[in-house]
Structure 1
Amino acid sequence: MTDRYQSPLSERYASKEMQYIFSPDMKFRTWRKLWIALAETEMELGLNITQEQIDELKAHAQDINYDVALKREKEVRHDVMSHVYAYGVQCPKAKGIIHLGATSCYVGDNTDIIVMTEALKLTKKKLVNVIAELKRFADRYKALPTLGFTHFQPAQPTTVGKRATLWMQEFLLDLEDLDYVLNGMKLLGSKGTTGTQASFLELFNGDHETIDKIDPMIAEKMGFSSCYPVSGQTYSRKVDTRVANVLAGIAASAHKFSNDIRLLQHLKEVEEPFEKSQIGSSAMAYKRNPMRSERIASLSRYVMIDALNPAITSATQWFERTLDDSANKRLSIPEGFLAIDGVLDLCLNVV
């Protein structure tokens, strides 16, 4: 499509792996996995749901009928109920038990957590690769003398390898932060419209002991250790803030690394890769501009500023929930991850 806007993040910078994590296929297949997990949990806890209905849901977990959902959404103006309807068209025996007792946030928020968790895992893999490559570079040039700089003025000598360990150490700090946030990710679970599980009290005739089993069972089926113990209708938007801050930290480290490379290339001490047929400038083809490092810096600034979006959003939520978070997080979280994905790929290439 050349007649409408296309995001440079998906067109130029982010990998196919990261793009898939934020794709409609990933999103809506996860919705269906969550509906299956809910239905299985309700069946196992005694509701009148049959294995035949579960099997029907599983048979259509992957083949999303987007055309039916889009047509329905034009009528009802509700994305979740449009997909409940579309799933029911494919699963006529099970349509009455899809989304039973749940709110829109059951699929929406739990999917967001799952998607961010998968994106953090991919980010961690790439960050580790950058650190490992920097380690090899530092070890290779650990004895090669070079002039040190303080205030960007000539100072005492250091080595090329020693300087690289400065970049590596900052990425290691980012890895520690990433691991901490990743290991703390929990699902929302299924807590109802205000976090009280009122609909399940009705479904299970006020049996609190049974209701207490719902969230842990759903978490286990979805590959998580637990759910957040309390919530309003949504998980705390503070979670998005923590995730975005991890990305911003990586971006800050990458920006410092790329700035140093740009300065060193000006001094003719190091040089980023330059392809055989690459053109340095439209007017001065002989130039060898540090374009990769410049791109790292440019994207990194975007990620650092993007972290303000979840922070402001989490600060301005009202009571049990408000919907002014939705449009913002649809942009800020995916684009933060797509941008840092491009940054880390560029860092690996430069190192």
Structure 2
Amino acid sequence: MTVRFHEYGGPEVLRLEDVAVGDPGPGELLIRVDAIGLNRAELSFRSGHYIEPVRRFPARLGAEAAGVVEATGADVTGFAPGDPVSVVPAFSMNDHGVYAERAIVPAAAVVPRPEGLDAVGGAAVWMPYLTAYGALVEVGGMRAGDTVVLTAASSGVGLAAIQTAHRVGAVPIATTRTRAKAGRLREAGAAEVIVTDEEDVTERVLDLTSGRGAEFVFDAVAGPGVLPLARALAPGGTLFVYGGLSGRETPFPPMEVMSARAMRAYVLFETTTDPRRLLRARAFLSSGLRSGAFTPTIDRTFPLDEIADAHRYLESGAQMGKVVVTVEH
């Protein structure tokens, strides 16, 4: 069974259909999918608001999963049937999709599943941690003593960024719109929590950093909110925008604010499609998992036949961590 949609729309357009999978081609693997990590990119792709449009209908979904190798295509090395693996987002959903019982994916987008990590965990770690690591450590060079401000901090990426900051000795400051999740964010490791409906973000960050400002802002929301975040940056600091949850146009901060500061977009593909960066990211994540520094936060799981409900739940924003879909065989 494979999840497809025949038109843009809400979760109701998702259909579970019998689709022939076929054999893997050169450079591809056939994966028995055991768990699927849901991401907001799939909501955007399904509704027609993604960074690329659907090229043809019916369309597939999904770029993050865990399972077992069932067959290898020509020219594939390093994998064999029976290997437990994870699929990382490193391809267009116009070309492949992992919302299925079985899926063909590029071998370059598959990594061995770290020992001791089950399928649900294996579907929940790669996108969040590779996003946080890729921007903050690989590109930004975050170091011990740096301060990083995290928006949408209760998301899977936000929670992974908190742990990533602790891993390198940086100080994570979480923002949240209301107090509903503030306590849980502190429990998750946030050094401080700013409630944006009640507090001035710029003033609070400057106060918490003794007037210096934050070396990094990691923003999933974008829109007009980038202006107070930019004003909270330290000289030489960087504001990474990696999402657009606000759905609003994002202004570039005034030049007097951005003098000696930087603002840039970050996409996960910068890490997952670069073999050397992916190798370093895998080593960073694997060592963190082994040491216990990284623990994936699973908010809730849904069976595959409840995929529409899983999308509705993710859209609600009620989750704290990752939403995962499990596949029975």
TM-score norm. by structure 1 comes to 0.25
TM-score norm. by structure 2 comes to 0.26
* Rg larger in structure: 1
